[in-house]
Amino acid sequence: MADHLIALDQGTTSTRAIVFDSEGRIVASAQREHEQIFPRAGRVEHDATEIWTNTVWALENALESATLAATDIAGLGITNQRETVIVWDRRTGLPVHNALVWQDTRTQPAIDRLAGEHGDYARYAEITGLPLATYFSASKIAWILDRVPGARAGAEAGDLLFGTPDTWLVWNLTGGRRHVTDVSNASRTLLMDLRTLDWSDPMLEVFRIPRAMLPEIVPSSAVVGEIVDPAPLRGIPIAGILGDQQAATFGQAAFEAGESKNTYGTGNFLLVATGERIVHSQHGLITTVAYQREGEPARYAVEGSIAVTGSLVQWLRDNLGMFAESSDVQRLAESVDDNGGAYFVPAFSGLFAPYWRPDARGALVGLTRYVNKAHIARAALEATAFQSLDVIDAVVADTGRPLTEIRVDGGMTRNGLLMQFQADILGIPVVRPEVIETTALGAAYAAGLATGVWSGFDELRAHWHEGQRWEPRMDPGERDRRIRMWRKAVRRSFDWVDDDARVLMGTTE
């Protein structure tokens, strides 16, 4: 009987497929990393063809190692890195440019022009829930249309198609039959009207993007097509699509207003569900679609997005050669008692929530002859906890309701030192579930609901089990002093990018 689900998690660093049984337990998985392409400062690209090849490999291998056949699988759920832009030719199936990744800041000058001389970055927040920022898809689509010869004409003729990775994968999985995205992904483009859940004509005009190239917007939990390729998975319904952070929220069973989760991956993303209500933040959070079940209204969330957390650990590993594996950071950081006075603000692509300062750049401050690499490793981990504090403070300011504990997931939550420091700095317990693959699990949940494997949210809630809990232990006076030091360091990172910096770094248009 088809009572298993397969989730495809197309992340920023890797693509993996996970087979779940009807209790939400992992049966088998397969994962492959793809190349991070950095053509110059501020540019981050992926090869979308490589991502598709890795997808085929991961799906086939996960199914094979589960020793299951396509007929055992009730549905496929897709979750993906959000905002990343792929434009391809529907006739050849080939991308016309590398994918422009969400971290890519090449379109900052265009964003600044749209914000106008008064720097009104919030001018489209009422429609889209988002500030004007390079982070979201729209300016990147426009960049491709303007820079790739013939792209604009091709897009207007309907020959070129746009998609975030979910769209690209569904298109390939269905042999080019379906060009769709779900509401949660569409809400990250700066092109969707949050109220109508349709592409917004005024926003399409602002960015000069032809409607003909945009995918159809579908619910997050609904059967939207059937796999044609790869052959071993043929016939499996594609039954769920969610952006990675919305999927993690779903996988943590945070379905109702007030429920929340914080994911610690390449970046950090705190989501707080607001139910059917669209809440516009006064404190730097963005408004996003959480999910939509077929035949129901969309549910919304406020989100605190932090660009650099786990990727700072990767940076210490790859750019400074401090250790061989990301997990080694804990041992190094534990070899000292504290940060030695060093604070690290990883504003590598400016600061996202709650500051939204594109002019900020990374700052390592408080240095003395005493500070060694272990202190820097510790400061890097602490930066993740402090940045999370900043977005949680924004949530509390917006909702007027303090959080009593926080559910966490993601690769960095394996780091016990970080989790304890997080509890200390927040002053509330930090709770990690047994299954930390919540992103893939959330995609499987969406697909399982749409195909009848699960009856509803109550059944899914019963799958959630506490794995580990960290209680706050730090003296409140010390905590407040450390927070004040952090905020001072954040201010040091502001006002760095100006015309001189742009010319010297070669990041002018």
Q: Which residues bind ligand ADP (CB under 6 A)?
A: 11-13, 265-266, 310-311, 313-314, 326-327, 329-330, 410-412, 414-415
Q: Please state, in angstroms and rounded to a whole number, the distance separating the CA atoms of residues 52 and 58.
A: 10
Q: Please state, in angstroms and rounded to a whole number, the distance separating the CA atoms of residues 501 and 507.
A: 8
With tokens 């990147």, the residue in question is 140
CB closer to ligand ADP out of 6 and 408: 408
CB closer to ligand ADP out of 217 and 247: 247
CB closer to ligand ADP out of 123 and 414: 414
Other Cβ atoms less than 10 A from the Cβ of 444: the count is 36
Contact in structure between 66 and 238 (CB atoms under 8 Å):
no
Nearest distance in Å: CB 330, ligand ADP: 5
Residue count (the chain): 509
Nearest distance in Å: CB 35, ligand ADP: 14
Nearest distance in Å: CB 299, ligand ADP: 23
CB closer to ligand ADP out of 11 and 358: 11
Nearest distance in Å: CB 280, ligand ADP: 27
| HSE of 464, CA atoms in CB hemisphere, 13 A | 23
CB closer to ligand ADP out of 336 and 397: 336
CB closer to ligand ADP out of 410 and 442: 410
With tokens 């604070």, the residue in question is 343
Burial grade of 401 (CB within 10 A; 0-12, 13-18, 19 or more): exposed
Longest dimension (CA), the chain: 66
CA distances from 465 to 3, 254, 357 (A): 21, 13, 38
Q: Backbone phi, then psi, for 466, in 5-degree steps?
A: -70, 135
Nearest distance in Å: CB 36, ligand ADP: 11
Nearest distance in Å: CB 403, ligand ADP: 22
> What is the secondary structure of 283-301 as a DSSP string?
SS-EEEEEE-BTTS--EEE
Nearest distance in Å: CB 15, ligand ADP: 10
CB closer to ligand ADP out of 58 and 142: 58
- SS3 of 410-468: CHHHHCHHHHHHHHHHHCCCEEEECCCCHHHHHHHHHHHHHCCCCCCHHHHHCCCCEEE
Nearest distance in Å: CB 13, ligand ADP: 4
Other Cβ atoms less than 10 A from the Cβ of 180: the count is 21
Nearest distance in Å: CB 237, ligand ADP: 25
CB closer to ligand ADP out of 184 and 311: 311
Contact in structure between 220 and 183 (CB atoms under 8 Å):
yes
Q: Which helix (H) or strand (E) holds 199?
A: strand 198-199
CB closer to ligand ADP out of 121 and 352: 352
Nearest distance in Å: CB 392, ligand ADP: 19
Q: Please state, in angstroms and rounded to a whole number, the distance separating the CA atoms of residues 108 and 223.
A: 38
Give the three-class secondary structure for 268: strand
CB closer to ligand ADP out of 298 and 333: 333
